[in-house]
Amino acid sequence: DTAVSQTPKYLVTQMGNDKSIKCEQNLGHDTMYWYKQDSKKFLKIMFSYNNKELIINETVPNRFSPKSPDKAHLNLHINSLELGDSAVYFCASSQEGRALGNGYTFGSGTRLTVV
């Protein structure tokens, strides 16, 4: 019954590999996000999808590609992983407009370590 679930929780991989992180929300929210949190705890928005449509695409390397097959899923694929990609990646969802008072619901994070 987890509201926003992302897998895997931990991911250790070598430089140059390609990996994916999956996210699913069962809240019926229409907007989903990917955030990167660095070692200093700064949260940086990467992408946002509203009803499967990309609405925010911050300056991230094009090695990162989000995919939203439906409004309940937003996956993140990363090609040619680099050491600097090591971070915690959070998926989140929200309902734009009404129910604004509930803010964002976050997943528990995926700790990516590139070696």
Give residues in contact with another protein (CB under 8 A): 4, 31, 33, 40-43, 45, 48, 50, 55-56, 90, 92, 94-97, 100-109
CA distance linking residue 5 with residue 81, whole number of Å: 23
Nearer to another protein, 81 or 91 (CB): 91
What's the min distance (Å) between Cβ of 93 and another protein? 11
DSSP-derived 3-state class of residue 30: coil
Measured from the CB atom, the residue of 6 and 75 that comes closer to another protein is 6
Choose among 14, 11, 8: nearest CA to 91.
Answer: 8
What is the smallest separation between the CB atom of 19 and another protein, expressed in angstroms?
Answer: 20
Tell me the sheet residues that pair with 9: none
Least Å distance, CB 20 to another protein, is 19
Q: Is 100 helix (H, G, I), strand (E, B) or coil?
A: helix
CB closer to another protein out of 44 and 63:
44
| Chain centre distance of CA 109 | 8
